[in-house]
C-alpha cells in the first residue's frame, strides 16, 4: 500500500518517511510534524506530467525588463530597492496591531490610483471590516477589489481571472489547500499555499505581498522554507503604545538589506517620517541619564535619544531592563564601564531605553549607553560645551576599554552638525570638528568633567575610584 503521510521539519522543510526526535537536516529537536501527501494528478490532468512536459524551457532573460511598480510610499520603495518587482513574492511580518493591514491597504490604494489592477485577499476579516479601515485611508483604498476567502483554489482562480499587477494576501497562514488534510497554518499547508501562489505570480507577473504571523518571540511563524521561497522578507517593528514604526528588510533579492523606513501611525493611516532626527533631538530631555546617539539606519544617519536610569536596588540580584537594545549588549557595556570607567552598578537597578521605539542593532551605540548610565549614576547631565544642548556620541567599546571606529563617521557628524549638536564624542580618525577619545575613560572625562559633579550625591550608586578600598576589594573578588 503506498504511503500517504510524510514527516516534515517545521524549520528547514526536510521530509522524512519516519519520525525523528532530531531533524537530520538542521539538527533541531522535536520539529518533525506528520503531514498528508497530496494526491498525485493523473497523466493529462491539471498539474500532471503531461502538462509539465508540454512546457518549453525558457531561454535567455528578456532583453527589456519589466519596470517596477511604485507603492506610492517613498520609505517602502527605498526598503524594497525601488518598488515592487512584477512576479515577486514579498513576505511582511509584524506583531498584531502594528499596522501591517494598514500599510498594505495604503499600498494597494496608491497602486490602484496609478491605473494598475489590484486585489486584496483577506482570510481574517470580512469585506465590511476592510471597507471600514479603507474609509480613513483615502479614496484610493476604497477602489481596491476585496476577496474574503480562505480556500486556495478560489484565490488562485480569482488571481488568474483578474490578473492584477499587485495582490495582498492577509494572511498566508489562513489559506488552506483542499489537497492536504492539515489545518490552516500547519507546515504542509503554508508550504503548499506559498508554492502555488508563487508559481502563478511568476507566470502572469503579479507582485504578491504575503502577510505573515509572528511568534511570541517576534520571529516569523511557519516553516523556515517559507522565508527561502519568497524574494523579500520585511519586518514591521515598533510598539503599539507609541506612534513610530520601523520597516526593515531581512532579505531582498532585488535590493539592499541595509535600508530601513520610518513611519508614524496617525488617525488617517501611516505617515512617512522624513526627518526623524529633528523630532528626536527636539524631544531630548537634557537631564542626567540622557544622551543623543548618532546611529545609522541602513544608509541614512539618524539621531536618537538614549535614556538611562540607575537606582539603588532592593533585590539580591539587581534588575537589568532594556527597551530597543539587546540585554546581553547592556551587560557587556556595564562590565566595561565598571572595569575601565570606574562606574560600578553591581548593587543598582539599571534601566535603558531607546526613545521612540527605535531598535539598535549596531555596535556603534555602545558609547551612548555607557555615557547615559554614567550620567545617571553620577547625576551630571551630558551637554555640549558651548551651549546647553544635548550632546551626541557614537562608538564601539572594546573589552579593554578602547573606543573602536564604526562605519560612516562623516555622515553621522554631518547629521549632528545639521541639527546644531556640537562637540560630538567619537573614536579616533572619525573626522574633523569632533571630540575624539581613544578610551572610555577619556570619553567620560570629556562628557562629565570632574568639576561638574554636584555635591551631596551620597544616596546615588557608588562611583569606583582607586581610593575606595571596599570597591577595590569587591572588584578584586
* Cα–Cα distance measured from residue 195 to residue 281, given in angstroms and rounded to the nearest whole number: 46
Paired with 209 in beta bridges are 90, 168
User: What pLDDT score was predicted for residue 205?
Assistant: 94
User: What pLDDT score was predicted for residue 57?
Assistant: 53
For the beta carbon of residue 424, count every other beta carbon within 10 angstroms: 25
If one compares 317 and 40, the residue with the highest pLDDT of the two is: 317
For the beta carbon of residue 314, count every other beta carbon within 10 angstroms: 7
Paired with 351 in beta bridges are 309, 321
Tell me what the mean pLDDT of segment 131-144 comes to.
Answer: 90
Evaluate if residue 1 carries a pLDDT over 70: no
Count of all residues that appear for the chain in the document: 477
User: What pLDDT score was predicted for residue 43?
Assistant: 46
Evaluate if residue 359 carries a pLDDT over 90: no
Q: Confidence class of residue 458 from pLDDT cuts 50, 70 and 90? A: very low
User: What pLDDT score was predicted for residue 215?
Assistant: 74
Contact 109, 251 (CB under 8 A): no
pLDDT tens-digit series, residues 373-405? 999 999 999 988 777 788 999 999 999 999 999
pLDDT tens-digit series, residues 250-270? 999 999 888 888 899 988 899
* Cα–Cα distance measured from residue 356 to residue 283, given in angstroms and rounded to the nearest whole number: 10
For residues 359-376, one letter each, b for 16 or more C-beta atoms within 10 angstroms of the residue's C-beta and e for the rest, the string is bbeebbbbbbbbbbbbbb
Contact 271, 264 (CB under 8 A): yes
Measured torsion, CA atoms of residues 205, 110, 218, 273, in degrees rounded to the nearest 10 = 140
If one compares 2 and 421, the residue with the highest pLDDT of the two is: 421
Q: 94 in helix, strand or coil?
A: strand
User: What pLDDT score was predicted for residue 38?
Assistant: 64
Q: 382 in helix, strand or coil?
A: coil
If one compares 472 and 265, the residue with the highest pLDDT of the two is: 265
Evaluate if residue 64 carries a pLDDT over 80: no
Q: Confidence class of residue 244 from pLDDT cuts 50, 70 and 90? A: confident
Q: DSSP letters of 312-381?
A: E--SSS--EEEESS-HHHHHHHHHHHHHHS----TTEEEEEEEGGG----SGGGHHHHHHHHHHHHHT--
pTM (2 d.p.)? 0.73
pLDDT tens-digit series, residues 153-165? 999 999 999 999 9
Paired with 246 in beta bridges are 237, 262
Residue 330, CA distances (Å) to 124, 333, 356, 366 in order:
39, 5, 19, 8
Tell me what the mean pLDDT of segment 84-106 comes to.
Answer: 93
Contact 213, 93 (CB under 8 A): yes
Amino acid at each position: 500500500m503506498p504511503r500517504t503521510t510524510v514527516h516534515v521539519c517545521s524549520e528547514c522543510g526536510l521530509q522524512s518517511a519516519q519520525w525523528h526526535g532530531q531533524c537530520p537536516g538542521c539538527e533541531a529537536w522535536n520539529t518533525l510534524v506528520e503531514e498528508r501527501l497530496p494526491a498525485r494528478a493523473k497523466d493529462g490532468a491539471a498539474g500532471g506530467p503531461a502538462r509539465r512536459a508540454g512546457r518549453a524551457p525558457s531561454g535567455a532573460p528578456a532583453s527589456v525588463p519589466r519596470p517596477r511598480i511604485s507603492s506610492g510610499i517613498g520609505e517602502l520603495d527605498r526598503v524594497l530597492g525601488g518598488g515592487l518587482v512584477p512576479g515577486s513574492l514579498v513576505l511582511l511580518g509584524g506583531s498584531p496591531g502594528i499596522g501591517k493591514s494598514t500599510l498594505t491597504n495604503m499600498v494597494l490604494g496608491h497602486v490602484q490610483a496609478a491605473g494598475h489592477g489590484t486585489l486584496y485577499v483577506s482570510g481574517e476579516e470580512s469585506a465590511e471590516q476592510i471597507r471600514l479601515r479603507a474609509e480613513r485611508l483615502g479614496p484610493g483604498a476604497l477602489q481596491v477589489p476585496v476577496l474574503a476567502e480562505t480556500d486556495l483554489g478560489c484565490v488562485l482562480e480569482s488571481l488568474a481571472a483578474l490578473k492584477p499587477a499587485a495582490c495582498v494576501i492577509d494572511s498566508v497562514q489562513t489559506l488552506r489547500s483542499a489537497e492536504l488534510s492539515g489545518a490552516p497554518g500547519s507546515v504542509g499547508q503554508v508550504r503548499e499555499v506559498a508554492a502555488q501562489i508563487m508559481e502563478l505570480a511568476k507566470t502572469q507577473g503579479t507582485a504578491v505581498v504575503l502577510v505573515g504571523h509572528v511568534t511570541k518571540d517576534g520571529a516569523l511563524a511557519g516553516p523556515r522554507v517559507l522565508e527561502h521561497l519568497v524574494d523579500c522578507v520585511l519586518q514591521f517593528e515598533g510598539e503599539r503604545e507609541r506612534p513610530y514604526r520601523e520597516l526593515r528588510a531581512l532579505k531582498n533579492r532585488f535590493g539592499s538589506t541595509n535600508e530601513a523606513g520610518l513611519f508614524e501611525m496617525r488617525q488617517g493611516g501611516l505617515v512617512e517620517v522624513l526627518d526623524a532626527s529633528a523630532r528626536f533631538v527636539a524631544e531630548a530631555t537634557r537631564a542626567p541619564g540622557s544622551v543623543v546617539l548618532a546611529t545609522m539606519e541602513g544608509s541614512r544617519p539618524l539621531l536618537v535619544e538614549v535614556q538611562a536610569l540607575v537606582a539603588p536596588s532592593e533585590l539580591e540580584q539587581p534588575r537589568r531592563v532594556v527597551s530597543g537594545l539587546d540585554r546581553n549588549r547592556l551587560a557587556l557595556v556595564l562590565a566595561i564601564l565598571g572595569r575601565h570607567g570606574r562606574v560600578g552598578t553591581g548593587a543598582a537597578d539599571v534601566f535603558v531605553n531607546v526613545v521612540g521605539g527605535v531598535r539598535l542593532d549596531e555596535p556603534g551605540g555602545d558609547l551612548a549607553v555607557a555615557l547615559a548610565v554614567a550620567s545617571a549614576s553620577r547625576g551630571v547631565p551630558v551637554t555640549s560645551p558651548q551651549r546647553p544642548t544635548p550632546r551626541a556620541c557614537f562608538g564601539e567599546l572594546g573589552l579593554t576599554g578602547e573606543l573602536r571606529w564604526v562605519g560612516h563617521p562623516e555622515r553621522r557628524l554631518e547629521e549632528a552638525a545639521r541639527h546644531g549638536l556640537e562637540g560630538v564624542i567619537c573614536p579616533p580618525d572619525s573626522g574633523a570638528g569632533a571630540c575624539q577619545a581613544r578610551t572610555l575613560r577619556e570619553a567620560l572625562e570629556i562628557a562629565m568633567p570632574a568639576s561638574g559633579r554636584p555635591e551631596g550625591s551620597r544616596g546615588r550608586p557608588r562611583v569606583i575610584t582607586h581610593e575606595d578600598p571596599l570597591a577595590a576589594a569587591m572588584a578584586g573578588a
